[in-house]
Amino acid sequence: MSNSRPHWSSPTKIVVSILVLTFLIFLIYRFREILPPTIIAFILAYVLSPLVTRIQNRWRLHRALAILASYLILILVTTVLLVLLIPLLVDQFDSLNLDLQQLLQQVELFLGQQFVVMGNTIDGKALVDQITTSFQTLVEPFLGQTLGFLIEIITSIVWLIYIFVISFYLILDNDSIRHWLERLPPPEYRQDYIRLRDEINLIWNSFFRGQIVLASVVAGMFTIAGFILGLPFALAMGIFAGLMEFLPSIGHAIWLFVASILAFFIGSTWLPIPNWIFMLIIIGLHLVFEQFDLNYLIPRIIGRRVQLPPIVVILGIATGALLAGVIGILLAAPTIASARVIGRYISANLFDQDPFPQQEEPPPLKTTKWWRRPRKTK
């Protein structure tokens, strides 16, 4: 009696694959509300796993105790940063109410004029009144919803507990999950899976660890430069610049827009120059820093694995915002870079090419000092 059994035909495999893919898309759509906190749980587990392993090996603890210790360290570090930064931010924002009132008055005076554009007169005051009325109409329904606000707080606490529980078990069963995933592909494709996994892991590793370092460096640079130039709310703007590094391509534009408004309507806190000149100085210095950031900081801190064309990143951020909100915006770049790796592998197999070509790095160029170069003889 033969143990052989018939294999699925190619049309059957295609139909089954399409049905499985359709079912997965339906599940993602049906449970889309649980997707963002689950992604956050995976990110937290991915970031804390090396720390847990180090604590476990260093202190000879059970892995569950090492996970709890890593959570405790994370909470302590976050608390210390908040304790150190909040008083400084409060000092800077003490005069925020007055400054905002002055800023709004200047904006209202500026926009309250009549502008002539191509022979047509635009009444700025009527436009401002219309915008103010529309904004009040939009905001009024949200005022007084105390019960809804309390429900949102309770919901956030529940999601926070969910994130910690899911990330706890992801870290606890990290080895089992990894071995289970390695056994999923057929034996002849298992090595391909491992190589793809390692390459994608390098992308996310470079993104998370490098992005944190890059954000810290940029925040420090902008804070120091802000105090030197007299930029209003220098510390807050420095921290804001560091956070904007998580939004490649558009983060610089957002920071520059906010800084330009502050520079134009408030001016420098100590430089005796007109506001519009101070705004031009901020814009010029930021354009120089943007080139320094793109060509020096990002390649050396994050690496070139996550670097993508700006138009691809912008489209990815827009798509991520529609699919997953803020999480989709933050993770657009590494997700696209990972998709590029998988797409390259699929394309190579479709055209019968090597999916992992040997990429030899070119030898370093040997440069000679100009005074040691031999002179050309006639």
Segment 173-187, tens digit of pLDDT:
888 888 888 888 888
Query: In the predicted model, is pLDDT for residue 143 greater than 60?
Result: no
What is the residue type of 376? K
Domain membership of residue 368 (yes or no) is no
Cα gap 229→234, rounded to integer Å: 9
Cα gap 314→299, rounded to integer Å: 19
The CB-side HSE value for 203 (13 A sphere, CA atoms) comes to 22
Please indicate, yes or no, whether residues 338 and 255 belong to a single structural domain of this protein: yes
Please indicate, yes or no, whether residues 257 and 177 belong to a single structural domain of this protein: no
Domain membership of residue 107 (yes or no) is no
DSSP 116: E
The pLDDT of 21-49, averaged and rounded, is: 86
Q: What is the pLDDT of residue 225?
A: 92
Segment 288-341, tens digit of pLDDT:
998 888 778 877 777 666 767 777 777 887 788 777 777 787 888 888 889 888
Please indicate, yes or no, whether residues 179 and 248 belong to a single structural domain of this protein: no
Cα gap 223→26, rounded to integer Å: 47
3-state helix, strand, coil in the chain (%, to 5): 75, 0, 20
Q: Higher-confidence residue: 359 or 77?
A: 77
Among 184, 210, 241, the domain-final residue is 184
Please indicate, yes or no, whether residues 69 and 159 belong to a single structural domain of this protein: yes
Please indicate, yes or no, whether residues 229 and 88 belong to a single structural domain of this protein: no
The chain-wide mean pLDDT, for the chain, equals: 78
Query: What is the count of structural domains for the chain?
Result: 2
Please indicate, yes or no, whether residues 210 and 268 belong to a single structural domain of this protein: yes
Segment 115-131, tens digit of pLDDT:
556 666 666 666 666 66
Cα gap 300→73, rounded to integer Å: 28
Query: In the predicted model, is pLDDT for residue 167 greater than 60?
Result: yes
Nearest to 253, CA basis, from 268, 241, 236, 235: 241
Tokens of 375: 């002179």
**Neighbour tally for 275: CB within 10 Å:** 15
**Neighbour tally for 164: CB within 10 Å:** 13
Q: Higher-confidence residue: 361 or 147?
A: 147
Cβ(172)–Cβ(67) under 8 Å? yes
Tokens of 213: 């370092």
DSSP string, 100-149: HHHHHHHHHHHHTSEEEETTEEEEHHHHHHHHHHHHHHHHGGGTT-HHHH
Domain membership of residue 198 (yes or no) is yes
Segment 264-293, tens digit of pLDDT:
888 888 888 888 899 999 999 999 998 888
Please indicate, yes or no, whether residues 323 and 225 belong to a single structural domain of this protein: yes
Cα gap 163→333, rounded to integer Å: 23
Cβ(355)–Cβ(348) under 8 Å? yes
Dihedral sign from CA coordinates of 318, 324, 326, 332: negative
Please indicate, yes or no, whether residues 332 and 346 belong to a single structural domain of this protein: yes
Please indicate, yes or no, whether residues 165 and 196 belong to a single structural domain of this protein: no
Domain membership of residue 370 (yes or no) is no
Domain membership of residue 129 (yes or no) is no
Domain membership of residue 252 (yes or no) is yes
Please indicate, yes or no, whether residues 176 and 198 belong to a single structural domain of this protein: no
Q: What is the pLDDT of residue 283?
A: 92
Please indicate, yes or no, whether residues 161 and 272 belong to a single structural domain of this protein: no
Please indicate, yes or no, whether residues 210 and 329 belong to a single structural domain of this protein: yes
Q: What is the pLDDT of residue 303?
A: 66
Segment 79-90, tens digit of pLDDT:
888 787 777 766
Query: In the predicted model, is pLDDT for residue 151 greater than 60?
Result: yes
The residue range of the domain holding 70 is 33-102+150-184
Cβ(16)–Cβ(8) under 8 Å? yes
Domain membership of residue 167 (yes or no) is yes
Domain membership of residue 373 (yes or no) is no
Q: How far is CA 269 from CA 122, 149, 289, in A?
A: 34, 38, 22
The pLDDT of 9-35, averaged and rounded, is: 86
The pLDDT of 106-119, averaged and rounded, is: 61
Tokens of 63: 């892995």
